[in-house]
Amino acid sequence: MRYAIFLWLALLLVLTGCEVLGFVGQTQAQALAFQKCNEFRLKQIQDPQVLTTEWLTVAQVEARGLSLAGHAPNELVWLVTLRGQWQLEGGPPPPEQGPAPPAPILHRCMAVVGARTGESLSVRAEP
């Protein structure tokens, strides 16, 4: 019973505000993801919503296809996935004749935030 209470309290600290333990909390990681997804040459078209917020290791994030070169495999990070609509600013170059094609619309943005530092480690947007 004590073990279950301890696990519940630990999870509560991680998800709601573990800043007191030297880690960035879930809410702060989400706020940083919103900020970074809008700075990443992306023009927000539709307000994003949080799909998932996961506390993982660098190795787990890299296993999902995101590159975090230069970081220890056991370093803890937040992987925040947002759903919305963004348009890539700058888009593809125009063809020699005719108007430039529209920049692609992207529907998902993933931001990796350092769990200890709050530093943005990676941002990726996908259709």
pLDDT for residue 105 is more than 80: yes
Angle between helices 2-16 and 26-37 (to 10 degrees): 30
Confidence of residue 41 (pLDDT cuts 50, 70, 90): confident
Mean pLDDT over each residue of the chain, to the nearest integer: 84
Do the beta carbons of residue 126 and residue 65 sit within 8 Å? no
Q: How many other CB atoms are found less than 10 A from the CB of residue 109?
A: 25
- pLDDT-based confidence at 99, cuts 50/70/90? confident
For residue 99 the two structure tokens come to 């108007």
User: Helix H segments across the chain?
Assistant: 2-16, 26-37, 58-63
Residue found by looking up tokens 């600290």 in the block? 13
pLDDT of 9 reads: 47
More confident residue, 15 or 34: 34
pLDDT band at 42 (very low <50, low <70, confident <90, very high): confident
pLDDT in tens, 46-94: 999 999 999 999 999 999 999 999 999 999 999 999 999 998 887 666 6
User: What residues have CB less than 8 Å from 10, skipping those under 6 apart?
Assistant: none
